[in-house]
A and B are shown apart, each in its own frame.
Chain A
Amino acid sequence: MKNETVLKANHIMKSFLLPDSFQVLKNISFEVKSGEFLCLTGKSGSGKSTLLYVLSTMDTAYQGELYLKGELLTGRTLNQLAAFRNEHIGFVFQFHYLLPEFSVLDNIMLPALKLNKFSRQEIEEKAYRQLTLLGMQEQALKSAGRLSGGQQQRVAIARALINDPAIIMGDEPTGNLDSKNTAIVFDIFKELSQSNGQTIIAVTHDNDFAKKSDRVIEMNDGQILF
């Protein structure tokens, strides 16, 4: 697994037509290996978030080619992409976006139930293991809306991990957390990339967070600086 190319971006270009014609990504090409902890940084409007959403397969309005796990994803249907995301990509957002009507456990289990590869029993056990790993096992049956911000973000990470995705993508995953919780999230990510060989791609404003990661891609004006 280690050091295989997990993600390959080939001449990715993207323009917004509204309100004004504006090229937000200019010919971006790079590769990411498995087990890498990559941070995308740059000023606001540099295109780092836009790039992340293109890489995440959710944004399909771009030119160029995107390979994930060796598969060309450009040009696939929305449903095929959804199925691919479900199995291979985990998401952590700045705002945790848990489903408030569901319990913590149910929130974590949802992507696995959608994948429908394992029995409910197995999924539940796995969700409990994730929670225990993140030190949240006591909150399992609580409603997701009743947790603190840091706890919710850990639940969101557990949810992102439930299907053992090859890539975990984070859009400002610590943007809403204090320094203590930021450190916890960083450690979790570090651990995942080092022990499990999972690739982490995170957009962040936090320079300290970025510095500690394996690799930083800084963007400016829709281009990669270094």
Chain B
Amino acid sequence: MPAVNYKIAFVHLTFKIKQTMVAMLGVVFGISMYVFMNSFMAGINDLQTTLAFANTAHIRVYNDQPPDHTNIAERALKGYPVVLVRDSRVIKYTEGIKSPAPIISWLLNQPEVAGVEPQVNSSVFFRNGGNKVNGNLCGIDVENENKLFKIARFMTEGRWNDLKFRPEGIIMGSILAEALSVHIGDNVNLLTNDGISKNYKVVGIFETGERDIDKTKAYVNINAARQLQGKNQDYVTDLQVNIQHYKETGPLISRLAPVIPFKVESWQEANEGMLSASKLRDIIAMAVSLTILMVAGFGIFNIMNITINEKIKEIAILKAMGFSGGDVTVIFLFQALVIGLSGGLLGLLFGYTVCLLVGLIPFKLDGKEHLPFTYHFADFYSAFLFGLVITLFAGYLPARKASKIDPVTIIRG
């Protein structure tokens, strides 16, 4: 292909610069919307994940309900005409995780494990005078808990680390504290399922922003929790495990689950609703931005069609002078390519700028000050690619039409 085709394309582009700009702006707008939508959705998804991981570890190991063995007699006495077991019961032989130490040390030896924390969780009544509120007591390893969940950032009063040295201390959710009308320094009485009651002193208040947590949760030192439950120094109900890449829970679970008799649950399993919500958001973002790109594509298609109709005589003359259909296609496709490339690059820049500007809008949640944005190279890359493909396609149809112009019909009129 001789360079003269590009020269003609360039002259066409620059001669009606306004028209070129309009076509380009369509692409700029489409691509910047794509970048904006996807970065915003990624930001929201990341924020949600962070929020979810404020209470949930990547993997949780716990002692689930034992399997239902109430029909054991029926199975053993198969063939007998009548088997009747009255008032059958499920008996849980072990509570919590039996001998957690080897499991913990095994976990710590796995390369992808970032942290392991044993917890003693139970359901208790919080009492203060006449107020009686049901809630969850979480016995935790103070330092490890903060390492895994960064709980200290949610503290509104008191210091997280105080719990380490205060076996009688308790840190409560803000709504729970309000419901009990207790403040820092006040006493609160706890009543367990087994009827044991003990007093604790409020040393801190936290607020995660998630209502269900703030309304029901309280933390004590893990040893204090064991004492309250009347358990030994090894007693653990949950193992919370964090790994390096939170999405890759599969391999660890497939190695761990078969060898221990406990339930091993990934965060994905525990938060299926959240995952599908974020997938839906991704789909919406994709649909909206692709629609915008399509509209931009139609804009280019229109403008190219108008240009070709205006230049139909010139195209006929070019063909009379010996330009082939391929040359004419190249001339117009090259214009689409230039519009797509420059519009794409500008769109990426503009989209990023819009993200930065919208990211300045104040939005307080979970220690965030502004609307969340997460930038993925893949979003920018695919925005550019989609933009280019759509422009080329939108340019190709009119270009092909131009290449098929019959010079005789046009020149003879």
Contacts and interface: CB of A to CB of B under 8 A. Distances in A.
Contacts of A101: 11-12, 15
Contacts of B4: 110, 113-114, 116
A114 B320 contact: no
A170 to B, nearest CB: 12
Contacts, number: 72
A87 interface: yes
Interface stretch (A20-28, A31-39, A78-86, A182-190): A78-86
Contacts of A114: 2, 4, 321-323, 327
A86 B322 contact: yes
Given A58-B407, A113-B3, A87 B412 contact: no
A115 interface: yes
B331 to A, nearest CB: 11
Contacts of A116: 2, 4
Given A97-B411, A101-B12, A113 B321 contact: no
Contacts of B407: 58
Contacts of B324: 78-79, 82-83
B284 interface: no
A84 B323 CA distance: 10
B411 A171 contact: yes
A43 B411 CA distance: 19
B321 A91 contact: yes
Interface string A86-126: 11010101000101011000100011011110000000000
Contacts of A93: 317, 411
Residue with the greatest number of chain A CB neighbours at <10 A, chosen from B325, B407, B411 = B411
B198 interface: no
A53 interface: yes
B319 interface: yes
Contacts of B322: 82-87, 89, 111, 114-115
A168 B313 CA distance: 20
Nearest to B326: A79
A115 B412 CA distance: 25
Contacts of B323: 82, 86, 114
Given A83-B322, A101-B11, A113 B2 contact: yes
A78 B323 CA distance: 10
Interface in B286-342: 313-314, 316-327
B408 interface: yes
Contact of B317 (A56, A99, A115): A99
A51 to B, nearest CB: 12
Contact of A78 (B7, B318, B321, B325): B325
A84 to B, nearest CB: 8
A164 to B, nearest CB: 13
Nearest to B322: A86
Contacts of A78: 324-325
A111 B321 contact: yes
A88 B327 CA distance: 18
Contacts of A87: 322
Interface of A: 49, 53, 56, 58-59, 78-79, 82-87, 89, 91, 93, 97, 99, 101-102, 106, 110-111, 113-116, 159, 171
12 contacts: A53-B408, A59-B408, A78-B325, A82-B323, A86-B321, A97-B317, A101-B11, A106-B7, A106-B11, A111-B321, A115-B322, A171-B411
Given A91-B321, A99-B314, 18 more contacts: A56-B320, A58-B411, A78-B325, A79-B326, A83-B322, A83-B324, A84-B322, A85-B321, A86-B321, A97-B411, A99-B317, A110-B318, A111-B321, A111-B322, A114-B2, A114-B4, A116-B2, A116-B4
